[in-house]
Each structure stands twice: as C-alpha cells, then as structure tokens.
Structure 1
Amino acid sequence: MSKKYHFIAIGGAVMHNLALSMVKKGYIVTGSDDEIYEPSRTRLYEAGILPEEKGWFPEKISKSLDGIILGMHARQDNPELIRAQELGVPVFSFPEFIYAQSTEKKRIVISGSHGKTSITAMILHVLKSEGLDFDYLIGAQIEGFDLMVKLSDAPIIIIEGDEYLTSPLDRTPKFFHYKHDILLMSGIAWDHFNVFPTFGNYTEQFEKLVGMTPSDGVFIYCDKDPIVKKIGENCKIEGVKLQPYSSHPNKIKDGNTFLLTDNGEIPIQIFGDHNLQNLQGALYICNSIGVSDSIFYKHIQSFKGAAKRQEILAQSETGIMYRDFAHAPSKLKATVEAVKNQFPERRLIAVQELHTYSSLNKEFVDNYAHTIDMADDAIIYLNPKAVSLKKLELMDEETLRAGFQRKDLKLFTDISLLKAYLESQTYVNTNLLLMSSGNYDDMDLDTLKYKINQKQ
C-alpha cells in the first residue's frame, strides 16, 4: 500500500519539487498553502495535487498519514501542524525527510556561502551525461532536469547543503540533517544576517558541519578561501581524507576559457575564477565516487551553467547581456570580476538589485565595500515596496556610495527610470550584467535584448 504524506506549505520552490518527485515515486501526496505562485501552481495542478483552496485546513490531517512534511514558510502556530502534533502524526522538516529517504545511500553534501548550486549542477551534468544512477537535491531549476529533487533506489545522492534554518520547529541549519559521507565546502562569506547575527556565529555552523564528517569520510575544501582553509587544516578527525582545491589551471583566449589538462586544452562554456574553483571542486567530488578525469572533461565541455548563473540573455559579437543570481557581497564581487576579466576591453555596466533582508539592511551595507569596483558603470536598484515589507529603512545614494566605497555609484528606486536609463545606453563593445536574487519587478527586457542582439 502506498504511503501517504501531507505537505504544509507545498507551494515553495523546493517543497513543490519534492512533492512532485514523491508522486513520481508512487506516494500519495496532499498539501496546503496560503499562497502558491507560478510555476509551482501549474506544476502541482498538472500532477493532480494542487490544493483546491488557499489556506490551512486541519481536517486534512488524520492518523492515516505516514507523515507531515513541514516547510520553512509555515509558522509554529499553523493549525494543520497543531492538529498533526495532537494526533501524533510524524512531522518531518524538508532535510529530515531527504535524510530518511537516503539512509542507505552514499550522501554527498555541497556546502558554502557561494557556488553551491553551480558545483552541484556541474556534478549532476557529468553524472547524467555519463548515464550513471543517482539521486539529488539542488536549489535551482537546471537544464536537463525536470525537477530539483529526485528520490529513487539509486546508490548515491548529491545534496546542495543550505545553511539556512531547517523549519519553524528547528532553528538549526538544514545541512546538519543530511549526515554526509563526503563534504565539499566552497567558501564562507557572511550571509543570512537576519538569522546569524554575527560573522562568528555564522562561521561556527560550518565548523560544526565539518565536525560531523565520519572517520571514513572525505572533506573537500577550497583552500583559496582563508576561513575554509583554516577549517580544513584544523580538521583532526582520524581517518578523514582531506582534499584541498583551488582554481583549475586555465587560459583565456579571445573571450573563451580553456582548461589546461595533461591531454591538452579543453574548451568550456563557463568562465571566471570562482567558476574554475567550482569546477575543480566538482572534479574532486566526481573522482571520489569513481568518475575519472577523462570522463569529467568529456562532459564538462557541454555544461552551460546553472539557471541565472552568468546566464546569457542576448549576445552579439561586441556585447553580451548576462543575468546572474549574485546578491551576497562575495557573489557580487566574483561575478563582476569574472565578466570584466573575461572581456577586459569591453565596457561593463553592472546592475545590482538589493533584494534580501541582509542586503537591504543599513547595518550590513558596509560588507559590500569594493564589490563592484571593476564595473565601468555601477548601478543599484532598490524597490521601496520590498524595503517596506521587510520593515527596513530605504537607503539613499550617499549611504550606498559609502557602503560600496564607490563615489560614482548610481541609485534607482523606480523600475521605469532604470529601464529607460539602460535602454538609452549604446551596447557596442559593452556588456550588461543584471544581478539579483529577485526579478527587477518583472522589468521588460525585450528592448534591451534587441539593442544588444542588433549591436546598437
């Protein structure tokens, strides 16, 4: 008989993907949420599990359920959660459920403040291209994969290990629950300012994670990051294999990047020092599960990058329009530098939408000092509504210029004015980089794409 699970907050990006993967596996799935947006809504509807009404309905909870899967979006006083607790129905957070489904697998966790999605996506691309059997959890929709989660009888699972809180009932990082066999750590730069109030508190979570590595485990870490390097060198767990990594040897030729290998130069479609670090880490993970260098190099050539990571929206011989998820200071700096270093002769217009609680907080803005220095034209967009919803103070241009340490930085708080400014520019020998974890208020990009495609 099929097991039955109910999702509280089924509409979330990863939550609805887990629900869909469980339907594929043959489970009976129901769910509730107070808001469900696209594409979650359509995908849940097509799978036959879209809730009939928005809201919370305790009557959906019964002892016949095998478990509740609780999303971070729910609150502790959620009426369905309270009912489940009264009835004694098992309640799983998202990561607890992933672990429960993978206790017999080799668990590979990719951690770090930045690069997690890209590294995980590279590994998945290589494994899939080689026809290997694996499960996965990744934090973004990536090319070639219908879902962000897959659970099957595969012998291994690749998990993007997020340090954010587990659930309303569990205020510890998600990545503690996966109980890794192999751990990769890319870098540490203060993020989630609203949850981890000090940098020391934030770093401590990663130190604890490394301390969970089993004695027959593997810890692969980026030694170009001074904090991660120190954590790696201080790891004294007997039996653990320690594998430091840095950027893969490479060269840039005519705006294209090539890997330097024992068998010659390998062309790749991604670029930037941070991506070459990510690639080296992905290579070592693949090695650790039996994939040879030659197989990795064969397949990595066709990897185009994860969605919204240096994603090309328009392109001509003299200009490219990129969209990138960069929002935290380290991600912003790495992305700006990557694009400028790849095309040093081109003007770079870099636009950053400050969207997260940390980035919109006046107390945090100094962390962005010099992150956008390499852009020729540096622009910040703030949505006053987003600032108001987070109950924060709208920063002015002077505050942002001081925080970013850039006197010519431009601020826009009206999306129509930003759009008009960008459309007024000439995109000959010019790259445009749009960075945000938001969506620029759904700004229409058609005119910009046309200008760049037509070399205007």
Structure 2
Amino acid sequence: MKKYHFIAIGGAVMHNLALALVEKGYQVTGSDDEIYEPSKTRLQQAGILPDQYGWFPDKISPELDGIILGMHARIDNPELIKAQELGIPVYSFPEFIFNQSKEKKRVVIAGSHGKTSITSIILHVLKDQKVDFDYLVGAQIEGFNLMVRLSDAPIIIIEGDEYLTSPLDRTPKFFHYKHDIVLVSGIAWDHFNVFPDFGEYKDQFSQLMEKTPESGELIYCDSDLLVKEAAEKVEIKSLKTPYKAHPATIEGGKTFLKTENDLIPIQIFGEHNLQNLQGAMNICLSLGLSKGQFYTSIQSFKGAAKRQEQIAGNEQSTMFRDFAHAPSKLKATANAVKTQFPERTLIAVQELHTYSSLNKDFLPNYAGSMDAADIAVIYLNPHAAALKKLELMDEATLRKGFERDDLKLFTDSNQLKDFLLSQDYSNTNLLLMSSGNYDNMDLTELKAKFN
C-alpha cells in the first residue's frame, strides 16, 4: 500500500486529490493550519481529517512514498523541511497528476477564462456516452463526487491553470501535465500579483502551445485575438484547430444550437458559453466521438457550480451566481445575461476579492466590464484589502476605473444586503459575481424574493 502525506490538505483540489487516492486504496495523511467546509466534513468522512491544525514534523517518516505539497504551504514549512532532510520525494499536485497519468492520453484545457466550463462540458459528454476517463477539474460539478479521478482509464481530462505550481516551483501548473492535446480558450490579464507584466503573462500561453508534441493537437479560440496571434505565430508540427462560438439562436429566453439538421435546445447561454461549447465539442471529436453523440449529451448539461448558476427564479425574474472576478469574465457574464433577457432590468453585483481586483494599478482593466448592467454595484470588503496590504479604494476611484458614473459602492455586507432586499425584482435579473462570498452574506431572504 502506497503512503502519501499532504502538506496543506484542505485546499479545494488538494483535498479532492487526497480523497481520490483513498478511493484508489492508498494510505493518506495530511496537515493544514486551517480547513474550511466542505473540505473539513469530506476529509472527516474519509477518516483523514487531521486531529489538530498546524504542522507536525513527526508526521514525516521514511516510510512515506511521497509528499504532495500545496500552494498554500510556505517554503519554510517544518514538515517540508523534514521531508527534504529525509530525502522523501516531494511533488506538487500537477507533478503528481502527471506521474499518475504517464501512460494516458493527456488533454489539457487552458486559458484565462472558460477552463472550468469547457472541462465540465467534456466530462459530462464523455460520462453520458459511457467513455472511461480520468479527470482533474477546478470546481464541483453535477454527477461527479470528486474533482479528481485517477484510475486505469486511457484518457485524462485536465483543467490546466496558469497559476504557480508550488512554493518550490514558481512556474505555471499547466507546464507539468505534458499534454498530448491542449485547448486555449482566451488570454486576458489575470494573477496581477504573480504576473505584473502583461507580456510575461501572455508568454506563458505561447510556451504552453510550443510544448504540443508533433503527434498532438492545439485547439484554440480564434475569436480571441491574443490567442489567435499566439497560435498562428507558434512554430509546431502538430495539428492546429481554430474554433469560434457555435451558431445558435435565442427564442423566448432559451438558447438553441443551430446544427446541420435541427435546432438543439441547451441549458447554458451567452457568447462565451457558445465558444466554450464549441471548444469542448472539438476535444470530444478528437477523442473519437461523433457530432451526433455530442449533441445528444449536451442537452442535459446544466453548467458548472457558480458558473452562471441559477440559484432562484420565477417566470419573470432570475437570480444568478457566478465565479467571475477578472475583467473579461465580468464583461462576458453580464453581457450574456443581458443578451439572453434583453427585456429585463439587470442588477449586477461584483465583489472585489482577489489581489488583482483590489489593486488600484490594475483597476483600469475593469473599464466597461459592467456596461451591460442597468444597475452596477461593487462590494469592497475593507478586511480583504487589509489582508492583502492594499489601499482601500473610494467610490470616485472605482467609478473612474469602471467608467460608470452611476456605480454604487458598499463596504459593509449588511448594507449591501439591505439595498438588494429593497429592490423591486419584477421583470428583473440579479447577477452576483465573486470568487468570495460577500463576507458570508446569507442569501436566504434574497432568494425568497424570486419565488
């Protein structure tokens, strides 16, 4: 029985990988300085929740087959130091995933936006068509217990993140998967704290494309000018396949795919999602499925959690939740909801939560990103800014950055909640966008206004 210890086991992907290894029959232990839900309960149910928080070098012994190191851990972590002293192999989770999938066909989905949605569509279609595959995805999706699966399947579908690999490796995660097939959905400046220079950020995707083997395939969205430029410039002998949004029409607030024979109803919408869908379709075709199989399965796809997710609604109003936080994601999501329901008022709320979004120097990138909203609201948590040691921006600065003179700013979640509860949602959609949770704002009363 192989034995692995996780340093920073509580992370979203880390705890899912730990659970996947338990399912595989491995012996797993772990440590972390804090673990939140749902990780805590899931680790507890699997019998691998640490007895106490903190770092304990005595957990590290020569019997371990390896250490899996999370990005949350520091380079001076006492457990990591002990492992290095004992000569125990230390893997980041991308390195470990590659180590477990060397004999598989590796498909990597990359891009500044759309990764989770594209990966989720592929997973849904493959499962519906009873194809055996492994996967790594960045969100919990319907029909899958874990975000990671490692088995004897011949294929693995990987959501490839450009963020840093680990405290020991400051290169993007997606380099380590050594793809056979790679899809790049879009390039829009993100991770300002890691890539303060946009040229350096763009170069990571060019390098990824260059790693495509001669027998492999580069699938890219040529509606994205930066992706198109990089893909056309890169000198590789592998197949290059461009894609655009799948043709579609909207009838009565419902989107239908235009195919050679029929109109196919789908449950997702928006130009960006039609691009995501076409990219996912190209991957499925490369893996041997037919267009007919894809169209049959896509009709039951409801979307990934927190990706344009409908959390309440009635015939004349809907409440959406979305993970959007980067400028390109805000713009795409707000435009999608307004285009799908042009006759409805759109109230869009964005929480500035990430380092990039809270940074005054990055703010001009948000210009025009909330234009589709009839009422545009920003929530800025002073505590989040203080934790990141950033200046708290005022309303005038934000209005200038977003280029919205009527922008509304809240720095207290209770006041934001009161404002939202006071609105009339007749013929109105509410779009909540954040990678956080509005300082744990309870949405129960708000949801009730949509029943």
Fold-level similarity (TM above 0.5): yes
Q: Secondary structure at the match of 2:249?
A: strand
State the Cα RMSD in Å.
0.6
Q: How far off is 1:67 after superposition?
A: 0.4
Question: By how many angstroms is 1:281 displaced?
Answer: 0.1
Q: Which amino acid aligns with 1:194?
A: N
State the partner residue of 1:260: 258
Q: Say if 2:96 is the partner of 1:97.
A: yes
State how far apart, in whole Å, the 2-side matches of 1:319 and 1:424 are. 15
Give the aligned partner of residue 33 of structure 1. Answer: 32
Amino acid at match of 1:423: L
Deviation at 1:443, TM superposition (A): 1.1
Could you tell me how far apart the structure 2 residues matched to 1:249 and 1:12 are?
38
Tell me the residue number matched to 2:393: 395
Q: Which residue among 413, 416, 434 is the counterpart of 1:415?
A: 413
CA-to-aligned-CA distance 1:119-146 (integer Å, 9 cap, x gap): 0000000011111100000000111100
Superposition pairs for residues 157-306 of structure 1, below 5 Å?
157-238=156-237, 240-306=238-304
- CA distance in structure 2 between the aligned counterparts of 1:443 and 1:78, rounded to whole angstroms: 33
Q: 1:441 is matched with which residue? A: 439
CA distance in structure 1 between the partners assigned to 2:49 and 2:150 by the alignment: 21
Give distance in 2, aligned partners of 1:441 and 1:422: 15
1:331 to 325, 329, 343: 329
Residue 313 of structure 1, CA deviation: 1.1
Give CA-to-partner distance per residue, 1:63-94, whole Å, 9 cap, x none.
Answer: 11100000000011000100000010000011
Gaps of 5+ in 2: none
Q: Could you report, residue by residue, the CA deviation over 1:386-412 in whole angstroms, capped at 9, with x for unpaired residues?
A: 111111011000000000011000000
Q: How many Å apart are 1:160 and its aligned residue?
A: 0.1
Q: Which residue does 1:382 correspond to in 2?
A: 380
Give a deviation string over 1:333-361, Cα, whole Å, max 9, x none.
Answer: 00000000001111000000010000000
Identity of aligned residues (%): 73
- Write the deviation string for residues 411-449 of structure 1: whole angstroms up to 9, x where unpaired: 000111111111111111100000000011121212221
State the partner residue of 1:152: 151
Aligned length: 451
Quote the Cα distance in structure 1 between the aligned partners of 2:299 and 2:330.
Answer: 25
SS at match of 2:439: helix
Q: Tell me the residue number matched to 1:81.
A: 80
Which residue identity lines up with residue 30 of structure 1 in the other structure?
T
Structure 1: distance between partners of 2:58 and 2:443 = 45
The unaligned stretches of length 5 or more in structure 1 are: none
Partner of 1:47: 46
SS across alignment from 2:121: helix
Local SS of the residue matching 2:348: strand
Give the AA of the match of 1:160.
E
| Partner Cα separation in structure 2 for residue 283 and residue 158 of structure 1 | 13
State the secondary structure of the residue aligned to 2:235.
Answer: coil
Superposed, 1:332-371 pairs within 5 Å as: 332-371=330-369
Q: Deviations over 1:195-215 (max 9, x none)?
A: 001110100100100010001
**Residue pair 2:314, 2:450 contacting (<8 A) in 1 also:** yes
Q: In the alignment, is the contact (CA less than 8 A) between 2:206 and 2:234 conserved in 1?
A: no
Q: Distance in 2 between matches of 1:213 and 1:107?
A: 11
Residue of 427, 430, 455 corresponding to 2:428 = 430
- Greater shift in the superposed pair: 53-62 or 102-111: 53-62
Shift of 1:310: 0.8
| DSSP-derived class of the 2:264 partner | strand
SS in structure 1 at match of 2:449: helix
Aligned to 2:370: 372
Aligned positions of 1:63-78 closer than 5 A: 63-78=62-77
Alignment of 1:126 with 2:110, yes or no, is no
